């Protein structure tokens, strides 16, 4: 049985400025199956392509997750 490789992608999302003019940053984490860090980053860019928010990927790393059971 071939196992998938899962990557942890950390993303920072910037919200609209509040009444004080401060931009809030929200940190989120996503797990995605991929063949490389670049592949995981490409998948995240595709995931966010139709979302009208400012985001940037802060890190991508391989996980020790063996499988996801739904």
Task: Check whether 1 has a pLDDT greater than 60.
Answer: no
In a domain, residue 1? The reply is no
Cα 33 to Cα 6: distance, rounded to the nearest angstrom: 4
The reported pLDDT for the residue numbered 2 is 64
In a domain, residue 68? The reply is no
Q: Which domain holds residue 24?
A: 6-62
Q: Is the alpha carbon torsion for 27, 9, 56, 58 positive or negative? A: positive
Residues written for the chain: 70
Over residues 2-38, the pLDDT tens digits come to: 678 999 999 999 888 878 888 889 999 999 999 999 9
In a domain, residue 16? The reply is yes
Say how many domains are in the chain: 1
């Amino acid at each position: 049985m071939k196992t998938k490789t899962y990557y942890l992608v950390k993303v920072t999302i910037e919200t609209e400025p509040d009444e004080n003019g401060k931009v809030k940053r929200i940190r989120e984490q996503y797990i995605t199956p991929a063949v490389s860090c670049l592949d995981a980053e490409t998948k995240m860019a595709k995931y966010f392509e139709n979302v009208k928010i400012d985001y940037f990927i802060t890190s991508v790393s391989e996980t020790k997750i063996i499988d996801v059971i739904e």
